[in-house]
Amino acid sequence: MFYVRLLGTLAAGAFLAASVTGCATAPKSQAERQSLQSEAEAAYQGMTAKDSSLADFIDRAAGYAIFPSVGKAGFIAGGGYGRGILYENGRPTGYVEINQGSVGAQIGAETYNELVVFENEAALDKLKKGKFEFGASASAVALKAGVGGAGRFVNGVAVFVQPKGGLMAEASITGQKLNYEPMDSSEAESALTRSNRMRQ
Q: What is the pLDDT of residue 122?
A: 95
**Domain region containing 176:** 8-142+156-199
Q: What is the pLDDT of residue 199?
A: 83
Is position 22 within any domain?
A: yes
Q: What is the pLDDT of residue 102?
A: 53
Q: What is the pLDDT of residue 166?
A: 56
Per DSSP bridges, beta strands 3-6 and 91-101 are unpaired
Q: What is the pLDDT of residue 155?
A: 85
CA of 1: how far to CAs of 72, 150, 177, in Å?
21, 11, 24
Is position 84 within any domain?
A: yes
Asked if 96 and 25 count as a contact pair (C-beta separation under 8 A), the reply is yes
Q: What is the pLDDT of residue 106?
A: 44
Q: What is the pLDDT of residue 54?
A: 94
How many other C-beta atoms can be found within 10 angstroms of the C-beta atom of residue 182? 14
Total domains in the fold of the chain? 1
Round to the nearest angstrom and report the end-to-end CA distance of the chain: 32
Q: What is the pLDDT of residue 13?
A: 38
Q: What is the pLDDT of residue 80?
A: 64
Is position 3 within any domain?
A: no
SS3 66: strand
Is position 148 within any domain?
A: no
What is the mean pLDDT for each group of 10 consecutive residues in the chain (200 residues)?
Answer: 38 38 75 94 93 93 92 52 91 90 48 90 94 71 82 87 64 67 92 87
CA of 73: how far to CAs of 30, 49, 77, 186, in Å?
29, 27, 8, 37
Is position 98 within any domain?
A: yes
How many other C-beta atoms can be found within 10 angstroms of the C-beta atom of residue 58? 23
